[in-house]
Amino acid sequence: MKGGKERKVLLRHGESREVRFSFEADRIGEAKLSFKAIMGEYSDGIALNLAVDLPRQTEAVALFGDSLKDEEEEILVPEDIYPDIGGVSVAISSSLLSSLKSPFASLLNYPYRCLEQRLSRIFPLILFKNRLENFDFSFPQGQNPDKIVEETLKEVSLYQKPNGGFSFWQDSSYDSPYLTAYTLFILKKAQEAGYRVPSTVMERGSAYLQEFLHGKLKKEKYPYDSASWRSSEAFSLYVLSLMGKPEPAYIEHLYKKRDELPLFARTFLLKTIHLEGNNQAMEEDIVRDLMNKIKISPTNAYFEEKEDLPWVFHSNLRTTAMILQALIEIEEEPASAAQIVRWLTKEEQTRWMSTQDNAYFFYALDEYFRRYEAEEAEFRVEVKLAGKTILEHFFPKRTEEISQQRIEMASLEKGEKLPLYIHKEGEGRMYYELRMNYAPTGKLEPRDEGMVVFKSFQTLDGKGIEDSFQLGDLVIVNLKVVIPQVRHFVVLDDPLPAGFVPVNLSFETESTELARELEKRREQPWWQGFRHVEMYKEKILLFADYLAPGIHTYTYLVRVTTPGTYSLPATRIEEMYTPEVFGRSGEGEIVVK
Look at residue 577 and tell me whether its pLDDT is greater than 50: yes
Strand partners, 391: 383
User: Average pLDDT for residues 351-360, to the nearest whole number?
Assistant: 85
For the ranges 10-14, 249-253, 285-289, the lowest mean pLDDT is seen at 10-14
The pLDDT-based confidence of 522 (bands split at 50, 70, 90) is very low
- Exposed/middle/buried for residue 370 (C-beta within 10 Å: 0-12, 13-18, 19+): exposed
pLDDT per position as a tens digit, 541-554: 999 988 989 999 99
Look at residue 165 and tell me whether its pLDDT is greater than 90: yes
Q: What does the alpha-carbon distance between residue 191 and residue 194 come to, in Å, rounded to a whole number?
A: 5
Q: What is the structure's pLDDT at 141?
A: 65
User: Average pLDDT for residues 48-52, to the nearest whole number?
Assistant: 86
Yes or no: domain 447-592 corresponds to CATH 1.10.1200.10: no
Strand partners, 407: 88
Say what angle helices 316-329 and 337-344 make with each other, to 10 degrees. 150
User: Average pLDDT for residues 581-585, to the nearest whole number?
Assistant: 92
Helices within 373-424 (DSSP H only): none
CA distances from 550 to 219, 439, 480, 529 (A): 26, 32, 10, 11
If one compares 135 and 77, the residue with the highest pLDDT of the two is: 77
Q: What is the structure's pLDDT at 225?
A: 86
If one compares 562 and 238, the residue with the highest pLDDT of the two is: 238
pTM, two decimals, is 0.76
Q: What is the structure's pLDDT at 213?
A: 96
Asked if 424 and 556 touch (Cβ cutoff 8 Å), the reply is no
Mean pLDDT, the chain, as a whole number?
A: 87
Q: What is the structure's pLDDT at 88?
A: 92
Q: What is the structure's pLDDT at 180?
A: 98
For residue 542, the surrounding DSSP H or E stretch is: strand 539-547
- Exposed/middle/buried for residue 555 (C-beta within 10 Å: 0-12, 13-18, 19+): middle
What is the total residue count of the chain?
593
Q: What is the structure's pLDDT at 150?
A: 95
Given the DSSP bridges, would you call strands 468-469 and 588-592 parallel, antiparallel or unpaired?
Answer: parallel
Q: What does the alpha-carbon distance between residue 579 and residue 112 come to, in Å, rounded to a whole number?
A: 13
- DSSP three-state, residue 557: strand
Half-sphere exposure of 454 (CA within 13 A, CB side): 10
Neighbours of 37 (CB within 10 A): 12
Q: What is the structure's pLDDT at 148?
A: 92
The pLDDT-based confidence of 135 (bands split at 50, 70, 90) is low
Asked if 92 and 63 touch (Cβ cutoff 8 Å), the reply is no
- DSSP three-state, residue 205: helix
For the ranges 61-70, 241-250, 542-551, 569-578, the lowest mean pLDDT is seen at 61-70
Q: What is the structure's pLDDT at 507?
A: 43
Look at residue 505 and tell me whether its pLDDT is greater than 80: no
Domain boundaries, the chain: 96-372, 447-592
pLDDT per position as a tens digit, 477-499: 999 999 998 898 999 999 999 99
CATH of 96-372, one of 3.30.460.20, 1.10.150.120, 1.50.10.20, 3.40.50.11610: 1.50.10.20
What percent of the chain is predicted at pLDDT more than 90? Answer: 52
Q: Where are the beta strands (DSSP E) in 376-429?
A: 378-385, 388-395, 402-408, 417-427
